[in-house]
């Protein structure tokens, strides 16, 4: 495919581009909205990574690409940036988190249900260790009834990795979420429609923590830490063939948005006395603020910025 990169906010674009090229795709240009980096950064990035064109707008990019990869850290802009590509019948991969409110998540689901080629989210959904565990003979490994996943840094932008890792192991199953307690990190219980339980441990810590999982079945207990050096390739190998029209979607529409819905339910739980929150009771009032996160991310990268 001819791929266009939208936004350069995080470290992901420079780490994904070599893999995208190794998988046979061409990076034809980029557009950066400037939420994080100063003027001139996009041109410098393009020169360093041998990308031939910096587009002045998304509309200018649409007819020149087969697929767009959206990396913006203000997740509240993802829908507006994806829409021209969807309307132009192009593939769209949205980097994590997909969106931070129910309205935007439902729009992604509706696009996918209508046949648009759209996918994305956290690479932990497809981490190699989970794929290897799922590939084992179910008669030997058993079926997961209790799964614990966790990571550090924050509750949504990074915490979504743990929600996604859990979904990758358990499949689409979430019914409700309850905040158990806050200590060093937040602890959450995700209950499934079929009685299985997921436990998440997320939030800031004194030191960086790896992505970790413990899977308990009726036949075995498995534990692993995801190899962070293989995560991006795991996602791109699943997503790009689908976006190119050569494979089925890696996730169905409901599965695609489940991790973010669980994160919204978790937030509602800890804001409301740690009660059990059903996913189907979420409203557009439940949200994580993408603009606020982008501003804080910019200040982290450029402390002198306002």
pLDDT of residue 173: 79
121, 161 in Cβ contact below 8 A? no
pLDDT above 90 covers a percentage of the chain that reads 97
Q: Where does the pLDDT of residue 103 fall: very low under 50, low under 70, confident under 90, or very high at 90 and above?
A: very high
The pLDDT tens digits of the residues spanning 140-166 come to 999 999 999 999 999 999 999 999 999
Apex CA 203: angle with CA 200 and CA 206, to 5°?
125
**Please, what's the b/e burial string for 240-267 (b: 16 or more CB within 10 A of its CB; e: otherwise)?**
bebbbeeeebbbebebbbbbbbbbbbbb
pLDDT of residue 268: 98
The pLDDT tens digits of the residues spanning 57-84 come to 999 999 999 999 999 999 999 999 999 9
Mean pLDDT of 39-54: 98
- Checking if the pLDDT of 17 tops 80, the result is yes
**Please, what's the b/e burial string for 215-238 (b: 16 or more CB within 10 A of its CB; e: otherwise)?**
bbbeeeebebebeeeebbbbbbeb
- Distance, in Å, from the CA atom of 238 to the CA atom of 194, rounded to the nearest integer, reads 27
Mean pLDDT of 30-51: 97
Longest dimension (CA), the chain: 58
134: how many CB neighbours lie within 10 A of its CB?
A: 14
174: how many CB neighbours lie within 10 A of its CB?
A: 24
Mean pLDDT of 288-305: 94
Residue 45: CA count within 13 A, CB half-sphere = 26
Phi, psi of 183 (to 5 degrees): -130, -120
Phi, psi of 213 (to 5 degrees): -145, 145
Apex CA 213: angle with CA 210 and CA 216, to 5°?
165
The pLDDT tens digits of the residues spanning 181-240 come to 888 999 999 999 999 999 999 999 999 999 999 999 999 999 999 999 999 999 999 999
- Distance, in Å, from the CA atom of 27 to the CA atom of 276, rounded to the nearest integer, reads 45
pLDDT of residue 181: 86
- Checking if the pLDDT of 304 tops 90, the result is no
pLDDT of residue 306: 63
The pLDDT tens digits of the residues spanning 117-131 come to 999 999 999 999 999
Domains parsed from the chain with CATH numbers: 2-122 (3.40.50.720), 125-230+259-287 (3.30.360.10)
The sign of the dihedral angle between the CA atoms of 53, 56, 294, 97 is: negative
7, 35 in Cβ contact below 8 A? yes
Q: Where does the pLDDT of residue 52 fall: very low under 50, low under 70, confident under 90, or very high at 90 and above?
A: very high
- Checking if the pLDDT of 48 tops 70, the result is yes
On the 0-12 / 13-18 / 19+ scale of CB atoms within 10 A, 124 is buried
């Amino acid at each position: 495919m001819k791929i266009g990169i939208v936004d350069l906010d995080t470290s992901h674009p420079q780490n994904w581009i070599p893999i995208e090229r190794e998988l046979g795709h061409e990076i034809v240009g980029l557009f950066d909205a400037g939420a994080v980096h100063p003027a001139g950064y996009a041109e410098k990035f393009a020169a360093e990574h041998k990308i031939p064109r910096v587009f002045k707008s998304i509309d200018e990019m649409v007819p020149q690409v087969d697929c767009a990869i959206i990396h913006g850290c203000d997740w509240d802009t993802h829908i507006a940036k994806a829409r021209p590509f969807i309307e132009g019948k192009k593939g769209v991969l949205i980097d994590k988190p997909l969106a931070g409110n129910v309205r935007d998540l439902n729009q992604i689901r509706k696009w996918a249900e209508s046949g648009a080629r759209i996918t994305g989210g956290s690479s932990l959904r497809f981490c190699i260790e989970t794929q290897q565990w799922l590939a084992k003979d179910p008669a030997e490994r058993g079926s997961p009834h209790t799964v614990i996943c966790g990571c550090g840094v924050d509750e949504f932008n990074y915490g979504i990795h743990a929600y996604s890792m859990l979904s990758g192991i358990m499949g689409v199953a979430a019914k409700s979420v309850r905040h158990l307690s806050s200590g060093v990190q937040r602890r959450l219980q995700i209950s499934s429609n079929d009685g299985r339980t997921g436990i998440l441990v997320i939030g800031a810590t004194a030191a960086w923590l790896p992505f970790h999982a413990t899977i308990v079945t009726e036949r075995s207990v498995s534990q692993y830490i995801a190899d962070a050096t293989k995560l991006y390739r795991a996602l791109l190998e699943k997503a790009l063939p689908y976006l190119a029209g050569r494979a089925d979607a890696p996730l169905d529409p409901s599965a695609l948005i489940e991790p973010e819905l669980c994160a919204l339910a978790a937030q509602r739980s800890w804001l409301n006395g740690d009660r059990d929150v059903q996913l189907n009771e979420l409203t557009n009032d439940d949200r994580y603020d993408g603009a606020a996160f982008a501003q804080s991310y910019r200040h982290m990268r450029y402390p002198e910025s306002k």
